[in-house]
Amino acid sequence: MNKKIVILFGTESGNAEFAAEDMALEISHCEVEVIDMTDFDVNDFSAHNFYMIICSTHGEGDLPSGAVPFLQALDSVLPDMKGIQYAMFGLGDSSYANYSRGSEHIDKKLTALGAVRVGEYGRHDAHTGTLPNVAAVEWTRRILELGQ
């Protein structure tokens, strides 16, 4: 990967942040930056970067509070996302009807704005009792093997 990797996370309880940090450690041989979606300006999306987005689900399939301003900014700014590539990883619990829906809100908006999702849509199911960071790191390895 010769692009800078920007890992954006949206979290309510901190699980997505912890997983994002472990993802960054896994790819520390690359230029990587971890940013809370709350602190990311949507005008800063650049085709020179590759974005790995990890987002949890809150309540009944809603975005976590840390991701709401990010989606609102995408809705109001409507940045041109042509040339932007990203990969998506969602956190959720399949015992709930709207499993992993939080990340799907962001995925849908990015695609509508012209960004292109690459690789498999990664997900962690808290109902399995496994740790989200383990699944996120395994997914990261697979995504980067794609050479995106």
pLDDT digits (tens, 9 = 90+) for 23-62: 999 998 889 999 999 999 999 999 999 999 999 988 788 8
Instruction: Give me the pLDDT at residue 95, please.
Output: 80
Instruction: Give me the pLDDT at residue 76, please.
Output: 96
Cα 112 to Cα 4, 74, 84, 91: the distances in Å are 23, 10, 12, 22
Q: In which residue are the tokens 């800078």 written?
A: 4
Task: Please give the structure tokens belonging to residue 84.
Answer: 């932007």
- Ranges of residues in the chain whose predicted pLDDT is under 70: 146-148
Instruction: Give me the pLDDT at residue 94, please.
Output: 81
Cα 132 to Cα 4, 17, 28, 74, 125: the distances in Å are 24, 10, 19, 26, 8
Instruction: Give me the pLDDT at residue 146, please.
Output: 65
Cα 47 to Cα 75, 86, 148: the distances in Å are 20, 10, 12
Domain residue ranges in the chain: 5-147
Structural contact between residues 46 and 81, judged by C-beta atoms closer than 8 angstroms: no
Q: Give every CB contact of residue 145 below 8 A, 6+ residues apart in sequence.
A: none
**Statement: the pTM of the whole predicted model exceeds 0.85:** yes
Assigned superfamily of 5-147: Flavodoxin domain (3.40.50.360)
Instruction: Give me the pLDDT at residue 137, please.
Output: 94
